[in-house]
Structure 1
Amino acid sequence: MTTEHRIRRIGLAAARAFVQARTGIVLDVMVPEHFEQRHIPGALQACVHEVVFCDAVAALAPDRAVPVLVYGAGAGSQDGRMAAEKLLRLGHADVRWFAGGLEAWCAAGLPLEGSAPHARPDAHPPVVMPDGTYMLDTAASAIRWTGRNDNGAHHGTVNCAAGSLAFSRGHGTGDLRIDMRSIRDLDIADAALRPVLEAHLASDDFFFTALFPQAALEDMALAPLPSATATTPNYRLTAQFALRGMRRRLALNVALRGVGDAGGLALAGHCDLNRTRWGVLYGSARFFRHLGHHRVDDAISLDFRLVYAPARGR
């Protein structure tokens, strides 16, 4: 029998009776800053999202025979159920999950404790981009690439050269310049072989950096995705991607988040590019026959995190 089937799920009336009886432990498993604002009277706190959750519970409830009522945010949030499963695996004999959680408790008008018991904070405040201009922080930004062939894969980095974003009413425009001469491999340990691959990538076989030293995202446009959550991409990025003298349309979903205390932004995402669309044909079986061990997958994967700071004087 799984722990999920052994969880004793209770409703509001039973939870209220448990709290009033004071014969067991009431455990709030949400983040500490939320607990500090409002919680069920007499509740203790151990955040189920922390890696030390089990140690915290062991300190709060050393006697595993004592009944424990756990609650989280409420319907649709898995925090209380996940905590109950963990307690059962730790050997607690009587674990009760108040599935309605704090939402049901508040909706019933029952008493609360905390610094702001009547506050109703948004669980995940929507990301709203303030109007203004943002400049790329090249040192804090990173682009990682992965290329694959029959023998495995190589991965490395390429540096950003410059970039900017401008937002108006939640929509953004901008550009990004990439220094293709900075392309580096990170997986080859042999110091003599690594420069061979890097020179190969810089040559006319691949990115021809002597003639095309930069790649670019031009005419960037960012539009909000209406169905996004706080942990999924929330903007649609479209642009013309210029590489090796060719421009092709690029469209992908990205995550745009606020970072730091100074109003900065971070734009992160992943895409798989068919390099042959930009004339990078080396090793492609679409364009050559009898390649032997020189076959190289057409797709190049890019993972990026671009960090922006507000432009001075905006």
Structure 2
Amino acid sequence: MKTIKSILGILVAALFVNTAIAGTPSAKKATTLAVDTKESKIHWLAKKVTGQHEGTIAISSGSLITSGAKVTGGSFVIDMKSIVCTDITDAEYNKKFIGHITTGDFFEVEKFPTTTFKITKVAGSNITGDLTLHGVTKSITFPAKITVAGGKTTATASIPVDRTEFNVRYGSKKFFESIGDKAIDDVFTLDVTLVAGK
């Protein structure tokens, strides 16, 4: 009788273990995808009291870490020397404007040739990460949209950046109260599109 009970106990235990194993989902493997710098892009927009300017800037490298259809990490590097203004049609004025925003008054691209962003947390559609701009690193959070199609992962986001938090103070009312209509908004926007694949 004891033998029968022992055998039944072993069978029940084996059945329980097999059921538990069958019901355990396999862990999704993390995959690192290289950012396609030709398909990826950034559009920037900066406003002032009397108008605005916009343009593009290149992504020089990056990667996205994915698990299934979710992005769990990653980073990208912006080439600060690639800044282009697309709304100033006069060639001489355009050159003067680019010279102005890439030198000491603004981004000092010779001293700080790159800007980097590294993801530190993903919570739902919100991405948090460390932005290093003009030699200063700050944590920022923004919503992003992730899509997976045709073997590629695309992440898009509109990222507001307060330049004064990165010691870019030219034309800011925070530091020059009497500047009047020459004031430039502290916040500029980076519309980022990252396309990554194996």
TM-score bin (small chain): 0.7 to 0.9
Pairing partner for 2:101 from 183, 198, 201:
201
* 2: CA distance, partners of 1:308 / 1:161: 13
Q: Name the structure 2 match of 1:270.
A: 158
> Is 1:163 aligned with 2:62?
yes
Residue 250 of structure 1 pairs with residue 118 of structure 2: no
Contact 1:238/1:249 (8 A) holds in 2: yes
**1:130 CA displacement:** 7.1
Whole-Å separation in 2 of the counterparts to 1:222 and 1:130: 17
Cα separation, partners in 2 of 1:278 and 1:307, compared to 1, 3 Å:
same
- Paired residues for 1:203-242 under 5 Å: 203-223=103-123, 225=124, 235-242=125-132
User: Are 1:143 and 1:303, in contact at CA under 8 Å, matched by a contact in 2?
Assistant: yes
Supply the distance in 2 between the matched residues of 1:173 and 1:271 (Cα, whole angstroms).
17
Does the alignment pair 1:308 with 2:196? yes
Query: Which structure's CA Rg is the greater one?
Result: 1
- Asked if 1:289 corresponds to 2:189, the answer is no
Distance 1:203 1:273, change over 3 A: same
AA aligned to 1:138 is: T
Q: Secondary structure at the match of 1:290?
A: helix
Q: What is the aligned length?
A: 170
Which residue does 2:14 correspond to in 1?
none
In structure 2, relative to structure 1, the CA distance for the partners of 1:136 and 1:213 (3 Å cut) is same
Contact 1:174 1:221 in 2 (8 A): no
Q: TM-score, normalised by structure 1?
A: 0.52
Give me the whole-angstrom Cα distance separating, in 1, the residues matched to 2:113 and 2:90: 26
User: 2:87 pairs with 187, 209, 229, which one?
Assistant: 187
Whether contact under 8 Å (1:171, 1:221) holds in the other structure is no
Higher strand share: 2
Cα 1:258–1:151 change in 2 (3 A) is same
Counterpart position of 2:186 = 298
- Alignment partner of 1:137 is 2:36: yes
Residues 186-211 of structure 1 deviation map (CA, whole Å, 9 limit, x = unaligned): 00111111011111110111111010
SS in 2 for 1:291: helix
Which of 173, 178, 193 does residue 78 from structure 2 map onto? 178
Contact preservation (8 Å) 2:47, 2:188: yes
Q: How does 1:11-50 map to 2 (within 5 A)?
A: none
Query: Residues of 2 paired with 1:298 and 1:251: CA distance?
Result: 17
Q: Contact (CA 8 Å) 2:64, 2:71: kept in 1 or not?
A: no
RMSD across aligned positions (CA)? 1.7
Conservation of the 8 A alpha-carbon contact between 2:71 and 2:146? no
TM-score (normalised: structure 2): 0.80
Task: Tell whether the 8 Å contact from 1:143 to 1:157 is kept in structure 2 after alignment.
Answer: yes
Give how far 1:184 is off.
0.8
Deviations 1:12-53, CA, capped at 9 Å, x for gaps? xxxxxxxxxxxxxxxxxxxxxxxxxxxxxxxxxxxxxxxxxx
Question: How many angstroms apart in 1 are the aligned matches of 2:85 and 2:179?
Answer: 23
User: Following TM superposition, by how much is the alpha carbon of 1:172 offset from its aligned partner in structure 2, in angstroms?
Assistant: 1.1
Task: Report the equivalent of 1:12.
Answer: none
Which runs of 5 or more residues in structure 1 are unaligned?
1-128, 226-234
Q: Percent identity, aligned pairs only?
A: 29
Asked if structure 1 preserves the Cα contact closer than 8 Å seen for 2:129 and 2:139, the reply is: yes
CA 1:220/1:161 → structure 2, altered by over 3 Å: closer, same or farther? farther
